A = this chain, B = another copy of it.
Amino acid sequence: MPDTSICAPRKARVFSQIEKQALYDVIENRRDVRNEFLPDPVEPDTLRRILKAAHAAPSVGLSKPWNFILIRDNAQRAKMKAAFRKANVEAVAMFPEAKRSAYSALKLEGIEKAPLNICVTCDRARGGEVVLGRTHNRDMDLYSTVCAVQNLWLAARAEGVGVGWVSIFNDADLRTILGLPGHVAIVAYLCVGYVDQLFDKPELAARGWASESELNASVMEETWDEQLGTRCY
């Protein structure tokens, strides 16, 4: 008979109350950081643990389609900042006039303040033409990459490292700066650095830009609930 022992599940790790609470505290205390970055470089061992956590994310067909491009060079970050500035001028103009000055007053990135930027990309060709689990949803590889981003973000928070996700860019500008080939998609551009102060709720709520919806408004039973869905606005 073949040895199937390596292929059997085993007793699962059980987490104590203190350990569970640690996870919930990391999740609740995670922030999208724009301005609180300290200038100190992120320690190599710390960065390695954070990236290892990202690399342990679920991925479709175990394809691990992500790459992490570490950007520390001042000239590279200056180019990114210019790309952000250009896009943000376009962004302001998209808002109704009444909201423009409030929008412009918000700090939305820490590209140059954070000592480290990480561009998280997704190689759309990795794993070949047919990937298990990607057969009916071609974007599962992008979603896997976002799972890696969220793991990275939580690990960073536990390590005292803040992360801010900047999405106000024209894709083409970043592709040029980073020299990305056509089959590689940009999923996230992250500003990363130590923090010792953070907002105690999401900054957009603290600054009155938006308010947080309640969990109850997001939970439905068995099928879509049109009434509840409409109440979310």
Contacts and interface: CB of A to CB of B under 8 A. Distances in A.
Contact of A167 (B10, B140, B226): B140
A45 to B, nearest CB: 12
Query: Secondary structure of the A side of the interface?
Result: mixed
Interface in A128-168: 128, 130, 132-137, 139-140, 142-143, 146-147, 149-151, 153-155, 157-160, 165, 167-168
Interface residues of A, number: 126
Given A24-B49, A132-B209, A69 B222 contact: yes
Given A90-B135, A219-B70, A27 B53 contact: yes
Contact of A25 (B15, B76, B226): B15
A186 B125 CA distance: 23
A78 to B, nearest CB: 13
A56 interface: yes
A227 interface: no
Question: How many copies of the polypeptide does the oligomer hold?
Answer: 2
Contacts of A51: 215, 218-219
A224 B178 contact: yes
A147 B184 CA distance: 21
Contact of A220 (B10, B68, B160): B68
Nearest to A146: B146
Contact of A181 (B73, B140, B179, B226): B226
Interface in A24-78: 24-30, 32, 35-36, 48-49, 51-53, 55-58, 60-64, 66-73, 76
Given A136-B171, A151-B154, 9 more contacts: A9-B197, A12-B29, A22-B23, A23-B53, A103-B132, A137-B167, A142-B143, A147-B153, A180-B224
